[in-house]
A and B are shown apart, each in its own frame.
Chain A
């Protein structure tokens, strides 16, 4: 048999949200925000662990994080956290077989029932809640 090329799309294909509708966009955002929150968690553990090195080390760390740049990162974290939670709840409920519509006779033009308006609405609500939480966070962090 001739040599074969696997032609697997790989991470590049997995991370491309543009071709398959809103659920794929939500999948991509869920992964992206998950990675973002993981990076924040690691950074946060590192930041708070500096307190073990004394007050000076802690004050030095705060001088880096308690800045406009640090606040913007926190606002992004708030947005990621809210979207990841909201969309995660949608995915968990759907993965139990709820909110997908009912199986039935498919009719042309064959719109998949699982990609229904309820799913899209939940995605949009998650995005809207994330935006609202970010605005509130920005108000608190930059308010004074």
Chain B
């Protein structure tokens, strides 16, 4: 990729930061990947000098660029609090949520942001989640139980705290896609279900209200399914919500190997 440097304008200021403190602010170089598949598939990096404070997140830095230097930078974001899973991108070579990553914690004068690997690029930092959502849907991410409909006289399902603990952490998935981006199998196998989908298959399989275990195990037990995971642990390393997909996949495999019932 080629590199283009865009100079910082003198009068700019970070939103919410008083102008008078600007001189004391640290400055970092933000390198943003600019890719427009329709025009130039190769893409380039553009560099921007950004004033930052210790709490400035990468998302705030990119939005500063959009607001003051180049409004054409394309990215997806929404909640700004690591809840929606929209702003996943590769930051200094590792998939992270831009809203959840402070520039100060990266300990670098240069911050490079690129679109997440293993997803088709729509433009700049925005990637296509079609595969992620379709595999998630394939895992039947809902309780399968004939009795789950609200019927007159139906009783509620009893679930102990121990039953809940078996799947609770896996239900915190925000579908940000960082795990699929870090996965070494996803890097080479376009048809692999991926850690996100497999973790969700486990989440519902481990739920004692669910009766769809057989259906889900049949879906994951295929050539591009659960057996392509080699427990590299990268998915759990990057998960911003502590979901631990690597654990979910190995526990799910336990059902197929007969270690779990």
Q: Does A143 interact with chain B (Cβ within 8 Å)?
A: no
Binds B, one of A76-84, A90-98, A132-140: A90-98
Q: Does A142 interact with chain B (Cβ within 8 Å)?
A: no
Q: Does B188 interact with chain A (Cβ within 8 Å)?
A: yes
Contact code string B154-169 (vs A, CB < 8 Å = 1, else 0): 0000000000011111
A-B pair number, CB within 8 angstroms: 157
How distant is B65 from chain A, measured CB to nearest CB, in Å? 21
Binds B, one of A35-43, A46-54, A57-65, A104-112: A104-112
| A114 touches which of B168, B190, B250, B260 (Cβ 8 Å) | B250
Contact B237 A21 (CB under 8 A): yes
- In the docked arrangement, what's the CA distance between A104 and B243, Å? 10
- In the docked arrangement, what's the CA distance between A18 and B218, Å? 35
> Given the interface contacts A91-B231, A96-B250, does A103 sit within 8 Å of B169 by beta carbon?
yes
Residues of A within 8 A of B231 (CB): 23, 27, 91, 94-95
Contact B236 A112 (CB under 8 A): yes
Q: Does B233 interact with chain A (Cβ within 8 Å)?
A: yes
The interface size of chain A toward B, counting residues with CB under 8 Å, comes to: 42
Chain B: interface secondary structure?
loop
The interface size of chain B toward A, counting residues with CB under 8 Å, comes to: 55
Q: Does B177 interact with chain A (Cβ within 8 Å)?
A: no
Binds A, one of B45-53, B56-64, B114-122: B114-122
Residue of A nearest to B226 (CB): A95
How distant is A66 from chain B, measured CB to nearest CB, in Å? 37
> Given the interface contacts A21-B233, A97-B253, A97-B254, does A8 sit within 8 Å of B238 by beta carbon?
no
- In the docked arrangement, what's the CA distance between A7 and B121, Å? 7
Residue of B nearest to A114 (CB): B247
| B120 touches which of A5, A10, A113, A119 (Cβ 8 Å) | A5
How distant is B253 from chain A, measured CB to nearest CB, in Å? 6
Q: Which residues of B contact A (CB under 8 A)?
A: 35, 37-38, 41, 93-94, 115-122, 127-128, 165-170, 172, 182, 184-188, 190, 206, 230-234, 236-244, 246-248, 250-251, 253-254, 257, 259-260
Q: Which residues of A contact B (CB under 8 A)?
A: 2-11, 13-14, 19-21, 23-24, 26-27, 30, 91, 94-98, 100-108, 110-115, 119
